[in-house]
Amino acid sequence: MPTALAADPAVSRLHSPVIAWFEAHARDLPWRRPDAGPWGVMVSEFMLQQTPVSRVLPVYEQWISRWPRPADLAKEAPGEAVRAWGRLGYPRRALRLHGAAVAITERHGGDVPTQHAQLLALPGIGEYTAAAVASFAYGQRHAVLDTNVRRVFARAVTGVQYPPNATTAAERKLARALLPEDEATAARWAAASMELGALVCTARNEDCGRCPIAEHCAWLAAGKPAHDGPARRGQTYAGTDRQVRGKLLAVLREAVHPVPQAALDRVWDEPVQRARALDGLVADGLVEPLPDGSYRLPLT
């Protein structure tokens, strides 16, 4: 049965204009093409987490060319996934994607499973990724809540500039209420609302003049009140352990043979931070220490 909110004409009339806008303005991205298949969708979802499309595109194309099916990746060492991840950042995603490929190969005959519960049971896949793959790859009806969608819903329905820092139960309830009842329409709505947040209803410099639902937007109707909740988290990088980890991994990715400690010591002048970053990489399974004191990307 439709929820009261979904049955509200003021809410249900959001669907058609957003989907129509998407049909006219959606970017032609390789993971949206029919030949991408469910594996292409899954790879893109891993890569796009906290990473812009412009940086993902070249790595995605190389990855799919090298590993067109999960089984192709599964038979490689996990360190090869880390190497191919390049400078996308958050390289644990590469290990998780490799682990998912192994599980798909072993449990599902090499095909990305169709059911949400099966997707959620794969290593490294959380609620968002499971819902996104089920929706975008298989056209199923799921609430797909990424940062862009949450921002669109916060503004259009809730009337605030930004959603909370972390996804709340109220947001999940709202997303479910906003889902069209028809499965195919719901899947299209998920993709369309995400694209609207990425291209028009952006975090900064939103373009309300191009928005297909501006006349229904609660935030715009309220005069676009400024955010008055907890401070939004900024993404710092320079000088952080994350930057040091990236520099260490860059040396290891480019090396054919194990890398001696001295070569890694040249990456960063501050020894305590450098050691902490290297220890973190080892603890995360991204780097393997060898008995002779050298390091390499993981083989198992």
Mean pLDDT by 10 residues, the chain (300 residues): 47 90 97 96 96 95 98 97 93 96 98 97 94 97 96 96 94 95 96 97 96 96 90 73 94 95 94 95 96 94
Q: Which residues are bridge partners to 288 per DSSP?
A: 296
Q: How far apart are CA 37 and CA 19, in angstroms?
A: 22
Catalytic residue flag (residue 45): yes
- In this prediction the pTM is 0.88
**pLDDT score at 234:** 62
**pLDDT score at 232:** 67
**pLDDT score at 4:** 40
**pLDDT score at 48:** 95
296 by DSSP, 3-state: which?
Answer: strand
Closest CA to 180 of 141, 214, 238, 149: 141
Q: How far apart are CA 87 and CA 55, in angstroms?
A: 9
CB 5: neighbour CB atoms within 10 A?
15
**pLDDT score at 229:** 77
Choosing from 45, 195, 206, 288, the catalytic residue is 45
**pLDDT score at 237:** 74
